[in-house]
A and B are shown apart, each in its own frame.
Chain A
Amino acid sequence: MAEETEALSALHVLEYNYTRSVGPVIGRFLTGLRDGELLGIKSSSGKVIFPPVEYDPETAETLIEFAPVGPAGVVTTWAWVSQPRAKHPLQKPFAFALIKPDGADTAILHAVDAGSEEAMKTGMRVRPRWRKERVGFITDIECFEPEP
């Protein structure tokens, strides 16, 4: 058994700083974000999967037909983060949410800046708040915000 001894400790920073090739589907989606548009992809059964995936989750078929969605949509579920962690996308209380843009059949996970938990509601309409300088990352959407 462990004895009551002082353990030596040292800081170790865990990072995986790989440069990745994102491929034809995720690459196109991220380029769309840079241009301020949301792109889904049509599944084998004609559903629009958003964010897009390379292969149909049900049939494993290769997917190629993109479809623009949103950019506004509805919150399908949400979690209120009252104490954001340093790495979280917003440094004030916010919601992580699944957001289904208009015209899409599946939802994306992102942050919603609603101000307070009382302002959050399943089914509420939100729209992306775009970052001014966009580089083709998921964080080009700063967060979603309630539609006025």
Chain B
Amino acid sequence: MRDVAVVSFVQAPSVRRDPARNEVEILMPVVSAALEQSGIPLRDIGFTVSGSCDYLAGQPFAFVMGLDAIGAWPPIEESHVEMDGAWALYEAWIRLQEGDIDSALIYCFGKSSMGELPEVMSMQLDPYYLTPLWPDAISMAALQARAMLDFGSHDEREMASVAARSRRDAASNPNAHLSGDFDVDVLLKEPYLVSPLRKHDCPPISDGAAAIVLVAGDKAREICERPAWIRGIDHRVEAHQLGSRDLTVSSSTALAAEQAGGRGGAFDVVELHAPFTHQELILLDALSLSNGARVNPSGGALGANPMMAAGLIRIGEAAQRIMDGSAARALAHATSGPCLQQNLVCVLEGE
């Protein structure tokens, strides 16, 4: 495998609603800053790949307009995934393995505030068995939470503790927008939103964007004092129908982590894309980490959850801590689909 590293990461501060700017206007400063940080001009970037969701804009091929944020003249080699930017990064990493280019730009964006997000997400489900019933994202997550609670692996207090810790950590993250000091006992007295989930168990709706530059080999060392090397990356998917999976575990996370060399490992920091509190608990069970790694110091997706960007932001946050010297080894995770259907695990290290 060719050594590939994250050399720059930039995100737009996530906000509940950014009505004054369109997607391109949110993206432009992010992409420019990521390129500037890398020191590589756009014309020298070997491959550009983006992640976004046309359903959010309600317009087929909306992602093509996103290209205006970088400018595609003279022509560039470009690709897009209708997925979180973490999967765009995976494609870029694969592309860099071919060896003929040394750098890739990954960007992603999600203006989640424009529609009724729970219903927009329902439209992405199986159109025969699921969408006609309009199961919203919170109700589907609640089915998983109850399965976990019934199974008995975790309880509502642990879920509230995840919320309290995440919102406390989000307070020191200027890019998060839902933060505060919450007492677990007080949280547990709150009424259910969709039982067994309370409001604090659910992510905020966020508008945001992020970009990463990947560079291969010695070139990464020239550009960056402490590149965040990708030591392993893998993603796995499970069946779409919730009723044909065991919702109390995340077998695809366990398998991806195994393949990426992260399962059972020791890490300084772990960034998990767990939009709902119970999902962090399920993910940690699947990863079986061997030491008390710091989990989601950024506040995670419970502090800011821009659709299609929150996963790449986990990789960026983990990489940032390696680049700034505060961590030597980190694990980042991204998820996609209802109830952790698909999961990506990325292991990052300093030199």
From the candidates B18, B58, B196, B241, name the one contacting A53 in the complex (CB within 8 A): B241
Count CB-based A-B contacts (< 8 Å). Answer: 118
Chain A CB within 8 A of B153 CB:
no
Shortest CB-to-CB span from B177 to chain A, Å, is: 13
The answer for the CA separation of A14 and B131 in the assembled complex, in Å, is 14
User: Do A14 and B58 have beta carbons less than 8 Å apart?
Assistant: yes
User: Do B134 and A88 have beta carbons less than 8 Å apart?
Assistant: yes
Chain B CB within 8 A of A138 CB:
yes
Question: With a CB–CB cut-off of 8 A, which chain B residues contact A62?
Answer: none
Closest B residue by C-beta to A79? B142
User: Do A107 and B195 have beta carbons less than 8 Å apart?
Assistant: no
Complex interface residues of chain B between 26 and 42 (CB less than 8 A to chain A): none
Question: With a CB–CB cut-off of 8 A, which chain A residues contact B99?
Answer: none
Question: With a CB–CB cut-off of 8 A, which chain B residues contact A2?
Answer: 15, 18-21
Closest A residue by C-beta to B114? A12
The answer for the CA separation of A83 and B239 in the assembled complex, in Å, is 29
Chain B CB within 8 A of A85 CB:
yes
Complex interface residues of chain A between 44 and 62 (CB less than 8 A to chain B): 49-51, 53, 57
The answer for the CA separation of A2 and B16 in the assembled complex, in Å, is 13
Question: With a CB–CB cut-off of 8 A, which chain B residues contact A50?
Answer: 243
Interface string of B1-34 (1 = CB under 8 A from A): 0000000000000010011110000000000000
Question: With a CB–CB cut-off of 8 A, which chain B residues contact A98?
Answer: 143, 147, 242-243
Which of A4, A79, A88, A139 neighbours the largest number of chain B CB atoms within 10 Å of its CB? A79
Sample of 15 further A-B pairs with CB below 8 A, known A76-B243, A96-B139, A100-B243: A2-B19, A53-B241, A57-B239, A77-B144, A77-B146, A79-B143, A79-B146, A82-B194, A85-B119, A85-B134, A98-B242, A106-B244, A108-B243, A109-B140, A122-B150
| For the complex of A and B, 4 pairs with smallest distance between CB atoms | A107-B243, A79-B142, A7-B19, A80-B195
Can you give 12 contacting A-B residue pairs, CB < 8 Å?
A: A2-B18, A26-B129, A57-B244, A76-B243, A77-B143, A77-B150, A82-B194, A87-B134, A109-B133, A109-B241, A122-B150, A139-B132
